[in-house]
Structure 1
Amino acid sequence: MQKFIGTGVALVTPFKEDLTVDFDALIKLVNFNIENGIKYLVINGTTGESSTITKEEKEQIIEVIVKTNNKRLPLVLGIGGNNTLEVVNELKARNLSEIDGILSVAPYYSKPTQEGFYQHFKAIAEATNKPIILYNVPGRTAKNMEPATTLRLAKDFSNIVAIKEAGNNQQQYNSLLKDKPAEFLIISGDDDLALGVALAGGSGVISVIGQAFPKEFSEMIQLGLEGKNIEAYKIHFKMMDIVDYIFAENNPAGIKTVLQELGICSNIVRLPLVKASTELQAKIAKYVADF
């Protein structure tokens, strides 16, 4: 799955003052990332505020991104949840002809056993022939999918091609990298650990900050994939503060503040999220001005 190696970005959903989707800003964001080295785009992820997007808006967002992208980059669509049957039904019903892969989050809130995780993703894998990227983010789902479960799925289903691992746990990354099948991709979901994962044998990142600094972040990851650690860490050190800032309060309030400073979209988020605090906005504005 060469198309998912390097830097992908989890796109935000820009909003206007009246909280409707700002499609002009979305088009601007997509083109900015395509033109500056990003390898693939992820639609309808956590950073896109998928939990507060209506079904109608989701369809419009997908349509606009597909049209804007115009087959230039691979597209990954988030289709996941804790109602396995609903996820399976969406996969079977949706036209995925323009979509290159599915990002499917581990079931949240329900807190399944490891066998429950396995059976959930087994049902998903059997519902589509599209490549599937598992998404483990225990900080949001309240339950960790352990490496043994991930590797079992990787070995049992040929269309489960990768995991976006976002547990912010270096040891868990190492366990996955140590025992994974040769073609299975370990993708970092942690911007702060992404370079280290790439250097250790990972396949890249699905990034939040990358959509604001696509040229620099994708260059850093590429250097990491090539084993050029000294050059890569120069960029990593330059970006450490902004990565800390965007996750200091909530995501995507932080990254939307960065994108506002860059003139790409507003920093408006939908409740229950709120804008970054005045203090955090000031830190981000100074970083962007000095970058």
Structure 2
Amino acid sequence: MQLIGAFTALVTPFSNGQVDEERYRAFIEWQIEQGINGVVPCGTTGESATLSPAEHEKVIAICIDQVKKRVPVIAGAGSNSTAESIHLAAFAKKAGADAALLITPYYNKPTQEGLVAHFKAIAKEVSMPMVVYNVPGRTGVNVQPATMARLYKEIPEVIGAKEATADLTQISAILELCDDKFLLLSGDDFTVLPTIAVGGRGVISVVSNLVPKAFSQLCHFALQGDYAKARKLHYQMQPLCRACFLETNPIPVKLALAAMGKMEPELRLPLVPLSQENNQKLLATLKEAGLL
């Protein structure tokens, strides 16, 4: 399967402290019906950091089962522990994921050489397509363009990256150093269009949880070179992008989905509901967008 277009970083629904399988399956089905190009379970937006190992595997297995190969599934399998990343990637492969999304080790703050060693160790144990997830704002470490090129050239399993820096200079440098087969996906909803304009292939999106059809269309038009239509969608969705990052992701997007009737507004500590002021701003934006 081609990993091109709009991929939703799926929110994980909870009910009474447990993964809400019924709502999760229905939500995945709705995403596919709306024309999303692929889905990503157990990313940051799916609150993967607070899922138990058993829950992590359950969420991935449910997603793969519900999708039934209709669209690609990029399973979140990263950790700050290399050994845990290997375990999660092995499960993702066994469960039938099309690729693994592997975040750079957070908190440890490895050197660039440490990053290379980390991904080589995973690939040595689990041979499957891998997407490097670079999000310095969460992890405290940035994969430099030269390092990303090394990962791509020295590890056959590395097929691309989710680049969440929103730094078009860095994105351009990565694409300059890699060949045109490298799949660079934006990890920032605000910069999907300019990322595609310089050679990116799509997005792993938070906001597409709310508007999968619009994000899929934006990517389609941009990839086809129809920038007039792509720009119209880009600016149309900027208010939703701002609303979904009023506070820490995935707080706003999960509460937005609850307001839309897709799931319960249940978060896991240390995440807490939006402030009253920001909740009012979120609801107003959803109404303006015709989602309520």
TM-score by length of 2: 0.95
1:226-245 aligned at under 5 Å gives the runs: 226-245=224-243
Shift of 1:143: 1.1
Alpha-carbon separation, structure 2, partners of 1:90 and 1:28: 25
Alpha-carbon separation, structure 2, partners of 1:173 and 1:51: 26
Q: Which amino acid aligns with 1:13?
A: T
Instruction: Give the match for residue 204 of structure 1.
Output: 202
Alpha-carbon separation, structure 2, partners of 1:19 and 1:275: 15
Matched, 1:267 2:227: no
SS at match of 2:115: helix
SS at match of 2:74: strand
SS at match of 2:156: coil
SS at match of 1:7: strand
Identify which of 149, 155, 158 aligns with 1:157: 155
SS at match of 1:71: coil
Identify which of 211, 214, 220 aligns with 1:213: 211
Deviation sequence 1:209-254 (CA, Å, 0-9, x none): 0121001111011111112112111111111111011112111111
Deviation sequence 1:191-219 (CA, Å, 0-9, x none): 00111101221010000101210011110
Q: Which amino acid aligns with 2:14?
A: F
Q: Which amino acid aligns with 1:3?
A: Q
Instruction: Give the match for residue 192 of structure 1.
Output: 190
Instruction: Give the match for residue 251 of structure 1.
Output: 249
SS at match of 2:185: strand
Alpha-carbon separation, structure 1, partners of 2:91 and 2:77: 12
Instruction: Give the match for residue 13 of structure 1.
Output: 12
Alpha-carbon separation, structure 1, partners of 2:249 and 2:66: 25
Shift of 1:61: 1.6
Same amino acid, percent of matched pairs = 38
Identify which of 34, 42, 45 aligns with 1:44: 42
Identify which of 176, 179, 188 aligns with 2:177: 179
Q: Which amino acid aligns with 2:187?
A: G
Alpha-carbon separation, structure 2, partners of 1:95 and 1:181: 26
SS at match of 1:96: helix
Shift of 1:95: 5.2
Instruction: Give the match for residue 109 of structure 1.
Output: 107
Alpha-carbon separation, structure 2, partners of 1:88 and 1:61: 17
Instruction: Give the match for residue 283 of structure 2.
Output: 285
Alpha-carbon separation, structure 2, partners of 1:74 and 1:93: 16
SS at match of 2:116: helix
Alpha-carbon separation, structure 2, partners of 1:81 and 1:118: 15
Contact 2:80–2:106 (Cα < 8 Å) also in 1: yes
Alpha-carbon separation, structure 2, partners of 1:103 and 1:171: 23
Shift of 1:94: 5.9
Instruction: Give the match for residue 62 of structure 1.
Output: 60
SS at match of 2:131: strand
Identify which of 222, 225, 230 aligns with 1:224: 222
CA RMSD in angstroms, aligned pairs only: 1.5
> What 5-or-longer segments of structure 2 have no aligned partner?
none
Q: Which amino acid aligns with 1:79?
A: A
Aligned pairs, number: 289
Alpha-carbon separation, structure 2, partners of 1:157 and 1:127: 12
Alpha-carbon separation, structure 2, partners of 1:93 and 1:219: 32
